[in-house]
Amino acid sequence: MGDTISIEQERRGVATLWLDREDKHNALSAQMIAELTRAAHDLGGDDAVRVVVLAARGKTFCAGGDLGWMRAQMAAEPAQRAEEAGKLAWMLQALNTLPKPLIGRVHGNAFGGGVGMASVCDVAIGADTAQMALTETRLGLISATIGPYVCARMGEARARRVFMSGRRFDAAEAVELGLLARAVPGDDLDAAVEAEVAPYLDCAPGAVARAKALLRDLGPPIDDRIVRHTIDELAACWAGEEAPEGIAAFFDKRKPRWQGGGDR
């Protein structure tokens, strides 16, 4: 399928979409974003696919946005920043509106955009050892393009507990927050995912797609206006002063100036 993702398709109609950038902890690069967008459209239009499982290779489910890709935006022109932010935002929307059930298999840590990837799933099952965090504010960024999906999944009140602080939380708290439906021992993860997949194979696929679309209409609106607002917010962060400092500190292996002991 691509260099950063792979797809395994079973005859019974289950397709597993693998994040396959193990050496980079499945961080969302420009190439991965493009390949995921294309995969969402291809799987959505494939009548042989009844259910999609979103999974990942390696130790980490998804470490968030690729910081090298983000650092490149600091020197870009405003139009290019907006275009790159848009690619990420529309990829998330393509997965969120996939007309097939999307089941998340969160076997390892999910940070930043990785939390967003779990949030666009219709249901996400996690290993009980997984750690999660919305780490963007630690880098001088905000959870912009993933924000609508995180808020829709958790609700505003629960999201406020973790959306701004950047703190880590474990799988048990992720269940309490509504991000994960269940947290199970790693050896039980595949069986728990299968328990979510199997019922759909007895359902009419057209009815499932229509029911999912109806739920999106009934839930918090995530329309083009909202998506474009998140694009503008991310691009504004890239153009600001804090994000360049936070990302530079990450690559320099030092604390940013707003953390105790950082350069001042």
Among the residue ranges 71-75, 90-94, 113-117, the one predicted with the least confidence is 71-75
pLDDT at 193: 98
Contact 119, 64 (CB under 8 A): no
Residue 199 falls within a domain, yes or no?
Answer: no
Segment 48-69 shows an average pLDDT of 97
Residue 21 falls within a domain, yes or no?
Answer: yes
In total, how many domains does the chain have?
A: 1
Strand pairing category for 109-111 and 131-133? parallel
Segment 162-175 shows an average pLDDT of 98
Sign of the C-alpha dihedral computed for residues 23, 111, 96 and 223 taken in this order: negative
Segment 176-193 shows an average pLDDT of 98
Residue 238 falls within a domain, yes or no?
Answer: yes
Residue 198 falls within a domain, yes or no?
Answer: no
Residue 247 falls within a domain, yes or no?
Answer: yes
pLDDT at 138: 96
Domain, as residue range, for 121: 1-187+204-264
Nearest to 165 by CA among 138, 204, 145, 141: 138
Nearest to 108 by CA among 150, 170, 51: 170
For residues 195 and 261, which has the higher predicted lDDT (pLDDT)?
A: 195
Residue 172 falls within a domain, yes or no?
Answer: yes
Residue length of the chain: 264
Segment 164-193 shows an average pLDDT of 98
Cα dihedral: 15, 197, 216, 146 (round 10): -60
Residue 62: phi and psi, rounded to 5, are -165, 125
Q: Is the pLDDT of residue 264 over 50?
A: no
Residue 240 falls within a domain, yes or no?
Answer: yes
Check which CATH number belongs to the domain holding 34 and give it: 3.90.226.10
Residue 135 falls within a domain, yes or no?
Answer: yes
pLDDT at 73: 87
pLDDT at 76: 84
Nearest to 64 by CA among 175, 143, 10, 180: 143
pLDDT band at 1 (very low <50, low <70, confident <90, very high): low
pLDDT at 178: 98
Q: Is the pLDDT of residue 180 over 70?
A: yes
Residue 219, judged by CB atoms within 10 A of its CB (0-12, 13-18, 19+), counts as: exposed
